[in-house]
Amino acid sequence: MVNNGKTLTPKLIKKLWIAFIFMIVLIGASYIFITCYLTLNYNQAITQRINAKVADHVIQEKFQNAAPFLEDGTVNKALFGDLMHDMMAVNRGIEVYLLDKHGAILYSVVLEHNTNEPLNSVALEPINRFIETKGEEFILGDDPLNADEQNIFSAAPFSIDGHQGYIYIIVAGKQLAQISDSLFGSYFTKLSIGAIVLTMVFAAMIGVLSIWFLTKNLRLITQTVRKFQEGDLDIRIKNPEQSDIEVVALSFNEMADTIVDNMDKMKSVDNLRRELIANVSHDLRTPLAVLKGYIETLQIKKDSLTESQKQEYLQITHNNIDKLSSLINQLFEYSKLEAEQVTPIKEPFSITELSHDLIAKFKLLAEKKEIQLQIDNPEENCMVYADIGLVERALQNLIENAIKYTEPNGKVTLSLVKMGKQIEINITDTGNGIPVNDQPFIFDRYKQVNKSTQKQGLGLGLAIVKKIMDLHDTTIVVLSEPYEGSSFIFKLPAYQLQ
C-alpha cells in the first residue's frame, strides 16, 4: 500500500491553477490590446474631427487673394511659403500637400523630413470619401512621407483658373506620431503592468476560493478513501447523492460495502475451515488410536490371546477402519461439492425403484436396531429428472440419520407423493426430533445438535444433502418436534413419460 501522506488532489489543483493563470494572462493581454487599439483610434478620430475643416480654411483664407498657380502654370511657391510660415508656428508636425485632380503631389510644405523616399501621389479614394462625409467619418489616408503607413488627414477640393485639385493635409505628422508613440508607450506599460498585477491579484483570490469550493467534494471523497485505506472500514461518504461526483461517491460506498462483506465472508469461511480441521483431526485420531492399540496388543500378546479374543480384536479394528474410511469419504465428497467440482448429470429415472433399493439396503441395519423401515408409495412408479448418483447419496444420508437418531421400536418411513409437475420425497422418523432453535443450522457443515452423543458422525451428512439440493435448484426443509420425530422433505421435477 502506498501512503505518502499526500492527498489525491494536488495534481488537479495544479492543473486548475495553470488553466486559471493562462486564462487570466490571455484575458489581461486581450484587454490591454483592445484598450490600446481603441484609445489610439479614438485619439486619431478626435484629432481628425477637430482638424477636419483645416483644408477648407486653407483654401478659403489663402486662395481668395492669391491663386495657387502662377500664370505660367507653375506652383505659387511664395503663397505656400507664407502658408508654411503660418502653420509651422502652430504645429510643426503638420504637412500640407497640393494635389492635382488625379492625386499626384504637385507641391508639399513639410518641415520634418525623414530619410524615406516620399510618395509622388496619394490614393484619391479616401480623400473623396472624406469630402463626401464632410469629415465626419474616421478615415485614414496615405502618408506621403511614410509609404507603408496610413494617417489621419484633412482634405478639400479646389477649382481655380481652370486648375482643379485638392489640398491634402496630414494633421498628425511625424512629430505628432512620435509624441503620441512615446506618451502612449509609457501609458501602455503602466496600464499593462498595473492591469495585469491587479487582475492577477483579484483572480488569484477568486481562484483560491473557487478551486477550494470546486474541489470540496473531491477532498471529502479523498479523505474518506484514505481513512478506509488506513483501516477504518466503517467509514462511508455521507449523502453521496448530494455530491458533485455522485457516481464516484455512490460507487465508493458500494465498493466499500462489498469489500467489508467479502472480508466478513472470508473470515467466517476461515473460521469454519479452522473448526473443520480441528474437528476432523479429532475424529480421525480416535479410531486411529483404537486401531493402533488393538494392533499393538495383537502383536505383543499374540501367543497368550485365545482365538476368540483375537477374532474380537480383529473385528474391532475392522469396524474402526470402516468408520475411518467413511469419514474420509464424506470429507472428500463434501470438499468436492464445496469446490464446485461436481456437475449434476441429469436423466430420467424411477425414484420408486431407487427408494425400494435403498430400503432393501438399510433393512438389515434397521432390523438390528429393531426399527421398522418402510416405503409409502401410493403411485405406481414415480419418475424424476435428476442426477441419480447424487439423489441416491442424499437419500442414503437422510435414511442413515433417521435410523441413527431413532430409538428401538421406532419407525422410519420414506414416502413419495406426486404433486403436479413435482415429486415430493419425505423421510419421516419417530426419533427424538431436533430442537426448534437448532433446526436452522443443521444443514451447516459440521453442525451437530448434541456433540456429547455417541451417535455423531462428522456433521457433514446434511451439509452434503444441502449441496446436492442446491445443484438441483431445489430446497430441503425439516419439520421436527422434540420427542415426536423429524421429517426431511424435498421436491424433484417429475419426468412425464410420453
Report if residue 235 touches ligand ADP, rule: CB under 6 A.
Answer: no
| Span near ligand ADP by CB under 6 A; candidates 15-23, 342-350, 372-380, 458-466 | 458-466
CA 424 to chain centre: 50
Q: Of 258, 262, 216, 261, nearest to 239 (Cα)?
A: 216
Q: DSSP string covering 184-211, please?
A: HHHHHHHHHHHHHHHHHHHHHHHHHHHH
Q: Is the dihedral of CA 185, 188, 189, 190 positive or negative?
A: positive
Binding mask 125-154 for ligand ADP (x = CB under 6 A): ------------------------------
Q: What single-letter DSSP state applies at residue 121?
A: B
Q: How far is the CB of 432 from ligand ADP (least distance, A)?
A: 6
Q: CB–CB of 165/98 below 8 Å?
A: yes
Nearer to ligand ADP, 42 or 441 (CB): 441
Report if residue 434 touches ligand ADP, rule: CB under 6 A.
Answer: yes
Report if residue 442 touches ligand ADP, rule: CB under 6 A.
Answer: yes
Among 401, 471, 476, 490, which residue sits at the site for ligand ADP (rule: CB under 6 A)? 401
SS3 396: helix
Strand partners, 146: 143
Q: Of 41, 33, 63, nearest to 172 (Cα)?
A: 41
Report if residue 431 touches ligand ADP, rule: CB under 6 A.
Answer: yes
C-alpha cell at 319: 469396524
Among 416, 430, 486, 495, which residue sits at the site for ligand ADP (rule: CB under 6 A)? 486
Report if residue 449 touches ligand ADP, rule: CB under 6 A.
Answer: yes
299 CB neighbour count, 10 Å cutoff: 8
Q: How far is the CB of 404 from ligand ADP (least distance, A)?
A: 6
Q: How far is the CB of 435 from ligand ADP (least distance, A)?
A: 9
CA–CA distance, 443 with 218 (Å, rounded to integer):
47
Q: How far is the CB of 427 from ligand ADP (least distance, A)?
A: 8
Secondary structure, 3-state, 430-449: CCCCCCCCCHHHCCCCCCCC
| Span near ligand ADP by CB under 6 A; candidates 77-85, 90-98, 241-249, 461-469 | 461-469
Among 167, 462, 492, 494, which residue sits at the site for ligand ADP (rule: CB under 6 A)? 462
| Span near ligand ADP by CB under 6 A; candidates 58-66, 279-287, 312-320, 396-404 | 396-404
Q: How far is the CB of 251 from ligand ADP (least distance, A)?
A: 41
Residues 6+ away with beta carbon under 8 Å from 261:
none
Q: Which amino acid is at 431?
A: G
Angle ∠(18,20,25) on CA atoms, nearest 5? 95
Among 49, 57, 369, 447, which residue sits at the site for ligand ADP (rule: CB under 6 A)? 447
Is 175 exposed, middle or buried (CB count within 10 Å of its CB: 0-12, 13-18, 19+)?
middle
Among 429, 469, 490, 495, which residue sits at the site for ligand ADP (rule: CB under 6 A)? 429
Report if residue 456 touches ligand ADP, rule: CB under 6 A.
Answer: yes
SS3 465: helix
| Span near ligand ADP by CB under 6 A; candidates 69-77, 162-170, 400-408, 416-424 | 400-408
CA–CA distance, 98 with 107 (Å, rounded to integer):
5
Q: What single-letter DSSP state applies at residue 350?
A: E
| Span near ligand ADP by CB under 6 A; candidates 46-54, 89-97, 237-245, 397-405 | 397-405
Q: How far is the CB of 272 from ligand ADP (least distance, A)?
A: 14
Q: How far is the CB of 382 from ligand ADP (least distance, A)?
A: 22
Q: How far is the CB of 415 from ligand ADP (least distance, A)?
A: 15
Residues lying near ligand ADP in the complex (CB under 6 A): 397, 401-402, 405, 429, 431-432, 434, 442, 447-450, 456-463, 486
